Chain A
Amino acid sequence: MDIITNRRSSDPVALSGPIFRLAAVTAMVFVIAMAGCIEGHEEPLPDREGLFYPIGMQMHPDGRFLYVLNSNFDMRYRGNLGGTVLVIDTDTGEILSESSPYVPSFGSYLALNDDATKLYVPTRHNNEMTVLSVADQGQALYCDNDGERSADTRPCTVRRIPDMREGTRISDDPFGVAVGRAQRTVGGTQSDFDLVHLSYLRGSDVTSMSLPDSEIAGASMQSAAVVGQGGNQLQMRPGTDEVYVAGRGTNRIEGFRPFLSTTGEVEAIVRSHTVRITESGSGMDARGLAFDEAGDWMYVATRRPNALHMVGMEKADGGGPEVVASIPLENRPSEVHVHRGPDGQQWLYIPSYRYGIVEVVDPRKEAVVDVIDVGRSPYSMTSDSAPANCREAGQRCQGYVTLFDAGTDRDERCDQDARVCGKVAIIDLDPESDTFHTVIETIQ
């Protein structure tokens, strides 16, 4: 077990010379600007009533509200508030624009914490993370600025931890995010800590943050080189505090966990298992990974080769994870999503960005058993889950797929001048339904 201790100590800004003066002026401008900006936003701001280059999604555990991250991929809108997280009422299909906050541009994934009170959104505009508060039933997202709710999330966006000015920076190009939880008894009181893990498109780092009571204030953070040449998705293995990260140019999936002090601070990042997906020297791009509910199986979708790999996490003799089977897929799989149907069976859904389909794999049969034609550029998928939905046949059971640059016409790219671009396709996942595994609706 490798313990990778803190590589980066705080790098305080020098308190002298022209740089200090510039920083001071900037700070003054920032304060002045913030004082006037909470209520009125500057243009151009994105439209909160539609999608534009949507990527990641999260479903509120109560099963009604879906959160979709718009990335502002074409840089049409201002960088620092050019993205949005749309709140969609899946009962009605309505986008709740007033409940949908602005976030920085170039976000990809987002993740709820354990009790669905916070939503963490890393973005690559300036390598920051936005911490959104979630309304008690999930019906709204907002930035809580000293009790004031706002769609302007700048007060809730951090680039340095623990100190906004002098703390360690979030590394370049944060991409994947996963959230866990830990408890510590501090001063006789049990406290909860959100453990937020980040991967980065560039470099070798992963980051673990500990946020006491889900608050930025008092947070701690460590980064360490774990993955080879840039990371993709992160996922936590269920039932453990282990995090696994898929690499962009390496044949391995790397596992790690944060080492927390008795007071809940992240002190180090500890490597756990390395899973070798292929034995080829380089070039594999692991795009997505997901676990089954029990954490016994990990599923990895790769490019080069285009395949789904089934990884058994524990051997009978106590050995480490190993690839058990590999299934060829269509070109350019982008993610893998595990869904448990009303009959208790698990299905794997793998969007193929290149061919506009979602391949359905039955892991028990190790075979692609269906192909769903969803339209142009599917990227990420989520689905209804028990106990809210999909408990029994006949109950609503739907999957949601972001179509990154889909236009009004099916299979056509959105018009470059359009104010909306991209869709969310809704797939029927009820095995008893006549429209099982077909797109029944789209949201744009």
Chain B
Amino acid sequence: MMGRDNMTSKGIGWLTVGCLLAAVGCSDPPLSDPEALDAPVSMDVADGEVCLPELLGVDATLSSEPLPRCGDDGNGFALVVNQRSSNISVLSLGQERARWANLDSRRPGISRISVGTRPIDVATTGEGTAAVVANESDATLTGIDLWTLRPLQQELDIEGTPRAIEAFRDGDDNWRVATLVAGPNHIDLRGGLECERPADGTDRRDHMPDDNCTWGEGDPQSVELPGRAVDMAVDEAEGEAWVVYRDRNEVSLVELDEGNGNGDEGESTCLDEEDTPPCEVARIGWDEVDNGDDEPSKWGATKVELDPLGLFAYVLDRPNNRLLVLDRQRRTLIDASQSVEPPASPFRTGEGIPLVRSAMAMSADVQRDVIDDSGTSHVAYRLGVRVAANNGQIYDVGAMDFDCVFDGDAALSTDEFVFDAELRADSEESRCLVTPEFPLGANPDFDDDDELGERRFIDIDESTRMAVTPIFGLHDGNPGNGQISPHSDCELPDELHDEGADSELSVACDSPAVAQPLGLDVDDDLDSYADETRADLMEFAQAYFDGGDEIIERYPYDLRLVNEEWSVTYEGDLPEPGQSASGLVSRDDDAIFRSGGTDYCSAAVEQGDRLTIFSPPGDASGCDVFDDDDPYFRSWRVESVDPFQVELAVIDDEDYVQQLPTRSCFDRGLNYSIRATDEWTVVGSSTGMMSPRERDGDVCVMREGADMGWFQGRVETGEEFLGPYLRFQIRPGELEPVQGLSYSFGVERNFSLSAVSSAPDDNASLPSQLLSTPDLGNGRNLVLVDGGGDRLYIENLSDPDRQPVFLR
């Protein structure tokens, strides 16, 4: 509160300007759509019997007649929940331009549908003739007649605080609503709402719809939940709800249909064997965090979404910035880090896909491309998720790409195949919808095409075959490929030049006479390596069908690369030790050298390395034995390594001092280095030098996976180096390498996130829901509901050339 600022003079100035403009007759400002949002938090589409007529005129007012039936005239629409003002806005999405529908021109502004206090979610029901709104503050459900866009007077009470609501048809084809409730934690199940169209001539603006709308029969039922539920998704085909929690690292599967859930011999499939459906039938957990009563996890999950094709479930874990993927058919968690190829790290903990920070909403995404649609059909699919973060971006995350060839017709449109479960289930193409069991176990860096193909091309049945590409990561929006920079550099010590001169061999960066790092496939019989690559980058392999052929296409795995410089140095200095004058000779034992804080385990120090003290000795008696012009004279061999000290030994060579360092001669923080012996060090400018060891208390221990060759920081001449995303071999030369021989080369990542900007310049964004709609008359849409920015972002997925729209 900066009360001391005086705005009076500024205010007078603006007033003057305004008056002048008015006096000269400024032109009318361009018309803009009126605003209709007030902390929007969710949305649902009405894509059934009721349609909006064409909205005409500046104010887009609907006529006073009940809405028409679809097919007579009109288009589908959406209902947007405004939490702050406790009402519902009606959005036309099926016409040329997305617009708010003004429900009643007798009132100023955009009229909306009043509901209970602080609504949180809405679900359309009854073949799109009705909607039910869950109200958080007053714990009620409000029914809405969509023929008249009027709320029912009678609201239904809910025990607890509603968090989400979904509508679905049960096994008997009756509409029902499931409300996710907190405190007490449960799912409230009751009949859905259906409405009949009032007669023509009814003024819908004043209509009381309680008589033409009917709630489904039966008393409400309650399914108890084990934690604080935050989100729910309903699989109508299976009659199941997937529920995620704030305080549990688990997802629950809840059988919603009384008729389902009986196993063999009539036994209940409920987790509580004494229970009967509706009930919880399964739980799938992650992170192995103890979820017992004493210590519930604080983090849980944020959102849950179901892939419309029935293959995956997605769980968004905002605090941990990751997306978890579940196999719906097997009801298991897919370890995405191991299912991506090559695996992210064989021993990495955490099973999800790393995301950009603060992901808040998501929408399952299915892309389908019919390549050949009759006889032997060929269809390509891309499954994944679009994620909205509060940095104003919506970006793409992939789960799996797959091609399917099958005997039969791919007769359905994409809309029909994706959004109509019944049509899809009856189609021949539905045979393609099988989830392979992940991980497949392939590794493009080590498998040839035949080996890869054995794992990626899968027979589903006699007449159906699929080509699978696990993605489990962010999609790349950059069309370029990552690469090793064409230009590399080297340092050739004088000693090497002298050797070359003696041997009459060419000493140059690309000379085969000199040992150097090169890609694994570089030909041995070359006169020069000038045109050869220094290393091979990690590969990504795409599997697909082309005509009758099975194709494996490889390219650099850009997502896994890092923009950095790599240095490969023979007997190079380790990058971390000795960075500051902090080394100390022990007072008590001349053989012990202390690090002054550097963790030697993670700094990749090893037995056999050489430690050199560069600081000159003191003037005390007997210290002249350490004095020499050769800067490497004061070097010792590392006999053993502990986290913060090494044990030294004298090197049996008269070029080095033949006495251990003493505290009396080196009585202060010392400049020193530790370097490798008879090996090359490999250091990335961002990655650093990988160490196979880590600290465990007072000792250095091998990291998990180190024995399999991961975490290499060194390589010998003639051997292969395996880095985090690159490989090379030190090709020997005719000349022996000498200390200081060094090569450097760059890696260009060429990765950029496949994303769109979903927030304009003011940037206040709090995404609450991301929704992919079916074609409501003007193509499919992607809609982001942003409560922090009080806006909708609308992108037409069927017409990529159309500019996205922001509505307020």
CB closest residue in chain B, given A404: B1
**Complex interface: chain B residues within 8 A of A364 (CB):** 182-183, 228
In the complex with contacts A278-B391, A306-B788, A328-B83, A362-B183 CB distance below 8 A: yes
> A284, B136: Cβ atoms under 8 Å?
no
Enumerate chain B residues within 8 angstroms of A304, measured Cβ to Cβ: 762, 764
A73 CA to B320 CA, complexed, in Å = 44
| A325 at interface by CB-CB < 8 Å | yes
CB neighbours of B360 from chain A (8 A): 326
* A305 and B246 contacting across the interface, CB-CB below 8 Å: no
User: Does B30 touch A at the CB level, under 8 Å?
Assistant: no
A280 in contact with B299 (CB, 8 Å): no
B4 contacts which chain A residues (CB < 8 A)? 75, 106
Any B CB within 8 A of the CB of A396: no
Query: Inside 8 A of A280's CB, which chain B residues have their CB?
Result: 390-392, 759, 763-765
Beta-carbon contacts under 8 Å, A295-312 to B: 296, 304-307, 312
Given contacts A280-B765, A324-B318, is CB(A367)–CB(B84) below 8 Å? no
Please give the distance in Å from B679's CB to the nearest CB on chain A. 34
| A323 partner, pick from B41, B183, B228, B319, beta carbons under 8 A | B319
Kindly supply a per-residue 1/0 record for chain A positions 308-323, scoring 1 wherever the CB is within 8 Å of any chain B CB and 0 otherwise: 0000101111000011
Complex CA distance for A316 and B39, rounded to whole angstroms: 33
Give every chain B residue within 8 A of A106 (Cβ-Cβ).
3-4
Cα-based distance from A325 to B768 in the complex (angstroms): 11
**A254 contacts the other chain (CB 8 A):** no
> B473 at the A/B interface (Cβ < 8 Å)?
no
- A interface footprint on B448-460 (CB within 8 Å = 1, 0 otherwise): 0000000000000
Q: With contacts A323-B358, A328-B84, A328-B788 known, is A316 near B297, CB below 8 A?
A: yes
User: Knowing A280-B390, A371-B137 touch, does A328 contact B766 (C-beta < 8 A)?
Assistant: yes
Q: Across the interface, which residues of A come within 8 angstroms of B3, CB to CB?
A: 71, 73-74, 106
Which residues in chain B, 783-802, are within 8 Å of chain A measured between CB atoms? Answer: 787-789
The reply to whether the CB of A368 lies closer than 8 angstroms to some CB of chain B is yes
Q: If A279-B357, A330-B84, A369-B161 touch, does A73 touch B246 (CB 8 Å cutoff)?
A: no
Docked CA distance A279–B765 (Å): 9
A108 on interface, CB distance cutoff 8 Å: yes
Q: B residues within 8 A CB of A26?
A: none
Give the residues in chain A near B392, CB-CB below 8 Å: 280
Q: Do A366 and B230 have beta carbons less than 8 Å apart? A: yes
Contact in complex: A328, B764 (CB < 8 Å): no
Let me know if B766 and A305 touch, CB within 8 A.
yes
Pick from A281, A305, A316, A328: contact of B41, CB below 8 A.
A328
Q: Which of A162-198 contact B (CB under 8 A)?
A: none
Please give, as numbers and ranges, the residues of chain A lying within 8 Å of B22 by CB-CB distance: none
List A contacts of B289 (CB < 8 A).
316
* Nearest-Cβ distance from residue B317 to partner chain A, whole angstroms: 10
Within the complex, the shortest CB–CB distance from A122 to chain B, in Å, comes to 14
Most buried by B among A305, A368, A370: A305
CB distance from B695 to the nearest CB of A (A): 15
Knowing A279-B357, A368-B118, A369-B137, the reply to whether A316 touches B299 (Cβ < 8 A) is yes
Given contacts A278-B358, A365-B182, contact A315 B299 (CB under 8 A): yes
Q: Which residues of B contact A362 (CB under 8 A)?
A: 161, 183
Q: For B161, give its contact among A108, A306, A307, A367 (CB under 8 Å).
A: A367
Judge if A416 is at the interface, Cβ distance under 8 Å: no
Residue of B nearest to A322 (CB): B319
Q: Check B118 against A108 for contact (C-beta < 8 Å).
A: no
Distance of B121 from chain A, by nearest CB (Å): 11
In the bound complex, residues from chain B placing their C-beta under 8 Å from that of A316 are 287, 289, 297-299
A306 to B358, CA, bound (A): 17
B residues 364-411 with Cβ under 8 Å of A?
Answer: 389-392
Cα distance A280–B360 in the bound complex, in angstroms:
13
- Any B CB within 8 A of the CB of A283: yes
How would residues 195 to 207 of chain A score, 1 for a CB under 8 Å from any chain B CB and 0 otherwise? Answer: 0000001000000
Q: Which residues of B contact A305 (CB under 8 A)?
A: 764-766, 787-789
Cβ of B136 and Cβ of A367 under 8 Å apart?
Answer: yes
**Does B302 have its Cβ within 8 Å of any Cβ on chain A?**
yes
**For the complex, what is the distance from the CA of A210 to the CA of B763, rounded to whole Å?**
40
How far, in whole Å, are A228 and B83 apart by their CA atoms in the complex?
32
Contact with A along B213-232 (1 / 0, CB 8 A): 00000000000000010100
Q: How far is the CA of A443 from the CA of B788 in the complex (A)?
A: 35
- A276 interfacial contact with B, CB 8 Å: yes
A6 within 8 Å of B by Cβ? no
| CB of A249, distance to nearest CB on chain B (Å) | 12
Q: Within 8 Å of chain B (Cβ to Cβ): is A263?
A: no
Q: What is the 8 Å Cβ interface bit string for chain B, positions 152-170, against chain A (1 contact, 0 not)?
A: 0000000001010000000
**With an 8 A cutoff between CB atoms, is A282 at the interface?**
yes
Which A339-382 residues sit within 8 Å CB-CB of chain B? 362, 364-371
- Complex Cα distance A305/B358, Å? 14
A288–B768 alpha-carbon span in the complex (Å): 22
In this complex, what residue of A is CB-closest to B83? A328
Q: Does B333 contact A (CB under 8 A)?
A: no
Closest to A316 in B: B289
Contact residues of A between 362 and 416, Cβ < 8 Å to B? 362, 364-371
Complex Cα–Cα for A75 and B356 (A) = 48
With A324-B299, A364-B183, A368-B137 as known contacts, state yes or no: A307 contacts B766, CB within 8 Å: yes
Q: Which residue of A lies closest to B117 (CB)?
A: A371
Within the complex, the shortest CB–CB distance from A37 to chain B, in Å, comes to 26
Chain A residues, Cβ within 8 Å of B391: 278-281
Kindly report which residue of chain B lies nearest to residue A53, judged by CB atoms. Answer: B3
Q: In this assembly, does B2 line the interface, its C-beta being within 8 Å of a C-beta of chain A?
A: yes
B509 neighbours in A (Cβ, 8 Å): none
A365 and B163 CA atoms in complex are apart in Å by 8
The answer on a CB contact under 8 Å between A370 and B319 is: no
CA distance A131 to B330 in the complex (A): 67
Bound Cα distance from A369 to B766, whole angstroms: 20
Residues 290-302 of B, flagged 1 when their CB comes within 8 A of A and 0 if not, give 0000000111001
Give complex CA distance A306, B302 in Å.
20
Q: In chain A, residues 236-288, which have Cβ atoms closer than 8 Å to a Cβ of chain B? A: 276, 278-284
By the criterion CB–CB under 8 Å, are A367 and B230 in contact? no
Indicate if B120 sits at the interface (CB-CB under 8 A).
yes
B137 & A370 in contact (Cβ 8 Å cutoff):
yes
Contact B788 A312, beta carbon cutoff 8 Å: no
Shortest distance in angstroms between A240's beta carbon and chain B's nearest beta carbon? Answer: 17
- Pair B1/A73 contact, Cβ less than 8 Å: yes
State how many angstroms separate the Cβ of B118 from the closest Cβ of chain A. 6
Bound form: Cα–Cα A48–B91 in Å: 56
Complex Cα spacing A330 to B299, Å: 26
Cβ contact within 8 Å between B84 and A283 = no
Q: CA of A284 to CA of B763 in the docked complex: distance in angstroms?
A: 9
Cα distance A444–B389 in the bound complex, in angstroms: 45
One of A296, A314, A323, A368 near B136 (C-beta < 8 A): A368
For the complex, give the distance between the alpha carbons of A78 and B528 in Å: 86
A-B contact pairs, 18 of them (CB 8 A): A106-B4, A278-B390, A278-B766, A279-B390, A304-B762, A312-B298, A314-B298, A316-B289, A316-B298, A322-B299, A322-B320, A323-B358, A328-B788, A364-B182, A365-B136, A365-B161, A367-B120, A371-B117
List the 9 closest A-B pairs by CB distance, nearest first.
A305-B788, A279-B391, A322-B319, A328-B787, A328-B39, A304-B764, A280-B763, A365-B161, A365-B182
Could you list 7 further interchain pairs (A-B, Cβ under 8 angstroms) beyond the known A280-B764, A323-B358, A367-B120? A279-B356, A279-B391, A281-B763, A283-B762, A325-B302, A328-B768, A365-B136
